[in-house]
């Protein structure tokens, strides 16, 4: 119940850590989602203002009991929560949790001396996650153990439900456990099933199967294919190599239908993708020529090409090929030119952007330092940055601001529900 005093166990079969129990008052929540007491001392599953008993030594302690709970404490919706390492903040009232994420984003920008308008956050709802990375461990002959790593451990939490996941992924868990059973011919195999829900069915890319011994035998591959057919999945790949395919995994990106290459990146939830794409398109309205850098399979490209001609580039050749193939499904676009290009070693130069008035960049977590330097030197009038890492975004934003841009507004995006991660879209103008 909300605000109830209770004892907590953070592991499926917990062993108390060494050290005497102590009482602590939690002052704030840290960057990984743990409560922070004076010291600092980090205690998971605690909230600001709570008085708790914790045990351990050093900076990190384990929660034993909440003596004085916060009014913002709620009952976690997942039965695996305190053991599973996948979520950190299910015990926090949603409005307070979301405010904390936005405040963290503002603080990250402030460290680079950046002030801007921060818009109301987009918040993904439970049951909307369309891609999961599920770890498998050897179980019985016919069924593997499947789930997430335990909190701060290599142990596996074998899950039966997952409230962040689309219900169709949750319903597929028993079939996925059967499909993973043949993957353990070699004792060093530690498979991970990267499962994506597409419009045409599940797309499963399996990594972590021991390859030095020759990989899976022909018999094991046949079992995987038979189990995939039984589960009616769209495709199974082993480290990118097709092991079974009934039909191409496809998604709709704006006006286009795209067949995904193995292991392709998609935004975690369709709703967050739509919110970000709409925000990007609105900021790009009126453009005459657009550059979409780190374009992937075209998350933003196709929508931007409804506004103006687009030059698209990404370091992954397979993603660019999928984007180009998807153009055939979207007649009436203003035009798209796409190429595979390493934007770290070979960023699009300022001279190449002479005719471009809007540029979009959506890099990996490391950010886009090299490409941002060229945008700063260019005559581009508007830059739109999409980021899964506020720290590297703030660094790149400072480069643009120092060159005469102004960060006009930021949209926070919470699509990794109940985790400490927050994403954003920022709009820069000169």
Three-state secondary structure readout of 152-202:
CCCCEEECCCCCCECHHHHHCHHHHHHHHHHHCCCCCCCCEEEEEEECCEE
Catalytic entry in 78, 162, 295, 388: 388
Widest CA span in the chain: 69
Given a contact cutoff of 8 angstroms between Cβ atoms, the answer to whether 211 and 181 are in contact is no
284-320 per-residue burial string, b: 16 or more CB within 10 A, e: under 16 = beebebbbbbbbbbbbbbbbbbebbbbbbbbbbebbb
- Reported as type and span, the H/E element at residue 148 is strand 145-149
Q: Any catalytic annotation for residue 388?
A: yes
3-class DSSP state for residue 149? strand
Q: What is the DSSP string of 332-367?
A: T-S-EEEEE--TTTSPPPGGGGTT-SEEEE---TT-
Q: Beta-carbon neighbour count of residue 253 at 10 Å? A: 24
- Residues with catalytic function: 388
């Amino acid at each position: 119940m909300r605000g109830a005093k209770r004892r907590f166990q953070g592991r499926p079969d917990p062993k108390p850590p060494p050290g005497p129990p102590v009482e602590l008052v939690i002052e704030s929540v840290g960057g990984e989602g743990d409560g922070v007491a004076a010291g600092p001392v980090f205690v998971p599953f605690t909230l600001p203002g709570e008085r708790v008993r914790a045990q351990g030594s050093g900076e990190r302690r384990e929660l034993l009991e909440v003596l004085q709970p916060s009014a913002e404490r709620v009952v976690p919706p997942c039965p695996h929560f305190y053991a599973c390492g996948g979520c950190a903040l299910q015990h926090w009232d949603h409005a307070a949790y979301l405010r904390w994420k936005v405040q963290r984003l503002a603080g990250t920008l402030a460290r680079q001396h950046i002030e801007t308008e921060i818009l109301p956050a987009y918040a993904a709802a439970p049951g909307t996650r369309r891609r999961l990375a599920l770890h498998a461990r050897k179980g019985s002959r016919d069924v593997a153990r499947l789930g997430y790593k335990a909190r701060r451990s290599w142990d596996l939490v074998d899950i039966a439900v997952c409230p962040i996941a689309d219900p169709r992924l949750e319903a597929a868990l028993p079939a996925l456990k059967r499909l993973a059973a043949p993957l353990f011919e070699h004792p060093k195999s530690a498979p991970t099933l990267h499962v994506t829900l597409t419009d045409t069915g599940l797309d499963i890319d399996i990594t972590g199967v021991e390859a030095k011994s020759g990989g899976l035998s022909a018999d094991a591959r046949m079992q995987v294919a038979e189990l995939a057919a039984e589960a009616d999945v769209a495709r199974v790949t082993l480290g990118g190599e097709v092991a079974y395919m009934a039909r191409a995994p496809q998604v709709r990106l704006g006006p286009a239908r795209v067949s995904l290459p193995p292991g392709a990146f998609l935004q975690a939830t369709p709703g967050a993708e739509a919110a970000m794409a709409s925000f990007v398109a609105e900021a790009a309205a009126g453009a005459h020529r657009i550059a979409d850098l780190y374009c992937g399979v075209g998350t933003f490209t196709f929508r931007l090409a409804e506004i103006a001609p687009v030059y698209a580039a990404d370091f992954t050749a397979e993603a660019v090929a999928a984007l180009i193939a998807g153009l055939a499904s979207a007649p009436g676009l203003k035009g798209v030119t796409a190429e595979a290009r390493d934007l770290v070693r070979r960023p699009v130069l300022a001279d190449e952007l002479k005719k471009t008035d809007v540029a979009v960049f959506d890099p990996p977590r490391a950010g886009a330092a090299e490409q941002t330097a060229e945008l700063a030197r260019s005559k581009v009038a508007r830059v739109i940055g999409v980021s899964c890492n506020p720290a590297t975004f703030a660094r790149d934003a400072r480069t643009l601001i120092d060159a005469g841009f102004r960060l006009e507004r930021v949209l926070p995006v919470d699509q990794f529900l109940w985790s400490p991660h927050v994403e954003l879209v920022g709009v820069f103008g000169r």
